[in-house]
Amino acid sequence: MCGICGIASGRGAVDAERVRRMSATLYHRGPDSEGAHIDGPVGIAARRLAIIDLTGGDQPIANEDGSVVVVQNGEIYNYRELMLELQRAGHSFHTHCDTEVLVHGYEEWGPRLWERLRGMFAVAVWDARRRRLVLARDRFGIKPLYYRDVGGELSFASELDALPKGEIDLDALDGFLAFNVVPGPLSIFEDIRKLLPGHTLTWQDGRVALERYARTGPLPVRHDDEAELVEECRARLRDSVRAHLIADVPVGVLLSGGVDSGALTALAAEESSEAVRTFSIGFEEATFNELDGARAVAARYGTVHRDLTLRPDAALLLPALADAFDEPFADSSALPTYLVSKLAAEDVKVALSGEGGDELFGGYYTYVADLLAERFGPLAARLRPVADRLPSSTRKASFDYRLKRFTRAAALPPLERHHTYKEIFNADVRAELTGRRSAFDPLVGYRERFAETSGHELLTRLQDVDFGLYLVDDLLTKTDRASMAWSLEARVPFMDSVVTNFAFSLPVRHKVRGFSKKRLLRKAVEPLLPHEVVHGRKRGFSIPAAAWLRGELEPFARETLRPDNLLRQGFFQPEAVLRVLDDHVAAREDLSRQLWGLLSFTLWYERHVEGVTRDVSLASVLA
């Protein structure tokens, strides 16, 4: 795992010191070594977190004559097989690391290299002979890559803080208010964009071209015997976990206590010669606490287990989260992910994480709602006045919360309905908050992706939208930034073509039926896990934000969102923000996700634009 950056200029030679300063902002992504390559108008650099070939893999890495130079953020899990293939084709290797495979693979296969890679990566290749710079991002979007193409200069980096900042992109802000994350390809700044998953960017002669090389998604439906599918599912997961354990340093597991991370723990324990290390986060609030399940899995497999129970004052770490995330990010589960990553980084350099299991195998209540709405949507919509009068609970995914969301969305078209279940602020409230009505449609990317899968089962198409957008912009971003803040490499075995191609070929009945979710996956892992984990209620690393914001965290929220702060920053109308805060505290509605978003943006802007640093003591919160 690393951080990469660089510049390609059509205006003359690159300033090597500027490239070095860009690299320095990425120190936390790669504290083990640094390196740069400057060739006239192009400079590329990397910070390295040494995982494979600890002594020989420093970057950049070049071919024999220096005509192809590569920097990489990520891991290539099939590098050994590719290395043998390239050696048979006549290529000589001077290291045992995966990055050198990219050098010779580019020489041998050119743009066809990317589709052959099994892993997670953001890569920059300088092709000196052709005077061409190529950027590539893995097909799933596991690793981030930003770029800025302005005034005859292309610059790129793993994180926004390495790039020149311009004005806030108001369309991106509107997207943030809709999703609590900034949807790609937008970034929070006008001049900077994200390279989308499965895409390359080529710079040559001062011109930039974007191209998609891969698109994971629905496949022809298989109708195999269920028992055979169950066995195949377990075998494919085992194959992926085995590949993701490849490292020259210890590998642990972030164990939430649910099915996905429990399965990873079980398979890692069975595939490892030494005891696996596991790390968990719990809460004092019972409906959010999954430590019992995590401890049961750890005990079953004899892992070296550590866990931590969070109290409400842990939310005072919001300023630290704002520091770790390079653009506004308001999935509240980032807090426990950030802290469990710190816990893991004290013992290991690599940890497996369960992102992707819900999107692939049907793990969300929204999927149940999608199917129910197809049958009962009009009737449910008529129940909305009753549902809206229900008192607001602070329990996780409470009945009143889900019923209100369901009845408000039930009569909408499928894609809009699916989005509305999870929507943060609708268009009318966004207009009240910002004092302007935007013409930007935050769902444009959703509509485009949904249109690409016409002909497949509806729920599979909606899962694909979540897989390609929500998973990338929210969950994978969260895991990358929260883990890299502590120089921890997070690997996601569900995000592997061996698993994804299987999951996307399953008929809906093997994923969701009635109120039963992840049907086939649960059957596949049932022999591996305690009964209470396989059949328990989904929790994950989510936090009791609703209760905290009505209790211990309310003074912090009011202080952060006070009118003079909001007026100084100039994005939100104080009266509208106060209404959201008061409605939540008075329990008229659970608006915790909305408040978390407003807090996260305000603290992010304070830290990354205004340059204000709040003193946050981890020791005092975690003592």
Q: Which residues are catalytic?
A: 2
* Under 8 Å between Cβ of 602 and 566: yes
CB under 8 Å to 502, separation ≥6 — which residues? 232, 233, 236
CB under 8 Å to 349, separation ≥6 — which residues? 49, 51, 247, 249, 250, 487, 488, 489
Integer angstrom CA distances of residue 32 from 2, 145, 157, 334:
9, 21, 18, 25
* Under 8 Å between Cβ of 217 and 450: no
> What is the number of alpha carbons within 13 Å of residue 519 lying toward its C-beta?
16
C-beta neighbour count of 420 within 10 angstroms = 16
C-beta neighbour count of 214 within 10 angstroms = 17
Strand ranges inside 77-216, DSSP E: 119-127, 132-137, 146-150, 153-157, 192-194, 199-204, 207-212
Residue of 281, 285, 283 whose CA lies nearest to 295: 281
Compute the distance between CA of residue 530 and CA of residue 427 in angstroms, rounded to an integer.
44
- How many degrees, rounded to 5, is the angle at CA 594 between CA 593 and CA 598? 115
Compute the distance between CA of residue 76 and CA of residue 470 in angstroms, rounded to an integer.
24
SS3 content of the chain, % helix, strand, coil (to 5): 45, 15, 35
* Under 8 Å between Cβ of 536 and 544: no
Residue 44, strand partner residues: 6, 37
Instruction: Give, rounded to a whole angstrom, the gap between the first and last alpha carbons of the chain.
Output: 30
Compute the distance between CA of residue 610 and CA of residue 100 in angstroms, rounded to an integer.
41
Query: What strand order describes the sheet that includes 68-76?
Result: 61-62, 68-76, 119-127, 132-137, 199-204, 207-212
**Chain position carrying tokens 């190529």:** 134
The three-state DSSP-derived secondary structure of 399-442 is HHHHHHHHHHHCCCCHHHHHHHHHCCCCHHHHHHHHCCCCCCCC
Compute the distance between CA of residue 606 and CA of residue 323 in angstroms, rounded to an integer.
10
Compute the distance between CA of residue 368 and CA of residue 376 in angstroms, rounded to an integer.
12
Residue 570, strand partner residues: none
C-beta neighbour count of 486 within 10 angstroms = 17
Compute the distance between CA of residue 410 and CA of residue 414 in angstroms, rounded to an integer.
9
* Under 8 Å between Cβ of 228 and 511: no
Bond before 144 cis per omega within 30 degrees: no
